[in-house]
Amino acid sequence: MSTAERRLSRKGEQFSLQIIEATLRCLGRDGYAATSLQRVADEAGLAKRMVVYYYGSREELFAQVVAHAGDRLLDQAAAAAAGSQSPEDTVALWFTRLWTSATSDRGLIIAWYGLVTESVTNPDLRGATSAIIDRVRGVLSSVVDDALERGYVLHGSRESLETFMLAGLQGLLLDFLQHGDDPRVQAAARDLPATLGHLYSRP
């Protein structure tokens, strides 16, 4: 029985989180293929049987890691979308704040991309990663709703705008992982919100 199927004591919750964080470090450092239960146990400073006790299998562990990493990214996305004074500010803040927090935790982004890439051919992960991405789209949809409520009109479909926002962020983060703090990547991250701003305007 995994942690998702039973209630844990406070100490159990601490062990569970310790294992999750160790898995994220392993994924960010060593990649998906090399992250075994034994390696996670060693990273967490626990016996392998403890990892198996709390998560049952490698697949279940990774599914829970997807949820944990996704929740962290979603918290950042939601915080970035809050508190703006205009639709442009909402989009700009969403990208700028999320970009700043995401690029400050490179290991988390590497782990997330590793899991998403693996999920393309791994049905055990596909549902979990798709659910997180759908929730990110929900945050994006709230940004678009805010723009529409303030009287802005879209030049095209809202689905396209939301897809451009998500694809732009994912593409820039991947470029960041490949090239680091390259000035061209940083310039594109600054320019993308303004570029998206051309997709809607006051009537």
Are 96 and 31 in a shared domain?
no
Number of domains in the chain: 2
Are 101 and 116 in a shared domain?
yes
Are 87 and 174 in a shared domain?
yes
Are 45 and 81 in a shared domain?
no
Q: Where are the alpha helices (DSSP H) in the chain?
A: 10-30, 37-44, 48-55, 58-81, 87-103, 106-119, 123-149, 158-179, 183-196
Find the CATH number of the domain harbouring 27.
1.10.10.60
Exposed e or buried b per residue across 103-113, where buried means at least 16 C-beta atoms within 10 angstroms of its C-beta: bebeebbbbbb
Q: Which of 39, 56, 73 is the last residue of a domain?
A: 56
Are 104 and 152 in a shared domain?
yes
Q: Which of 56, 87, 102 is the last residue of a domain?
A: 56
SS3 200: strand
The pLDDT of residue 196 is 79
What radius of gyration do the chain's Cα atoms show? Answer: 19
83: Cβ–Cβ under 8 A, 6 or more apart, which residues? Answer: 93
* CA geometry: angle 96, 166, 134, nearest 5 deg: 120
Q: Which of 195, 196, 192, 131 is nearest to 158 (CA)?
A: 196
Are 164 and 116 in a shared domain?
yes
- pTM over cut 0.85: no
Q: At what angle do helices 48-55 and 10-30 cross, to 10 degrees?
A: 110
Q: Which domain holds residue 154?
A: 63-201
Q: Are the C-beta atoms of 185 and 179 separated by less than 8 Å?
A: yes
Q: Which of 61, 56, 60 is nearest to 43 (CA)?
A: 61
Q: Which of 56, 77, 100 is the last residue of a domain?
A: 56
- Distance of alpha carbon 159 from alpha carbon 113, whole angstroms: 23
Find the CATH number of the domain harbouring 129.
1.10.357.10
* Integer CA distances (angstroms), 108 to 24, 47, 120, 195, in order: 7, 24, 19, 27
Are 113 and 170 in a shared domain?
yes
pLDDT by residue, tens only, the chain of 203 residues: 555 555 678 888 899 999 999 999 999 899 999 999 999 999 999 999 999 999 999 999 999 999 898 888 888 777 776 655 555 556 667 777 778 878 888 888 888 899 999 999 998 889 989 998 998 888 888 878 877 887 888 888 888 888 888 898 899 999 999 998 899 999 998 898 788 777 777 76
The pLDDT of residue 187 is 93
Are 24 and 118 in a shared domain?
no
Are 74 and 152 in a shared domain?
yes
Are 50 and 69 in a shared domain?
no
Amino acid 140 reads L
Q: Are the C-beta atoms of 12 and 20 separated by less than 8 Å?
A: no
The pLDDT of residue 84 is 58
Are 120 and 163 in a shared domain?
yes
Are 35 and 98 in a shared domain?
no
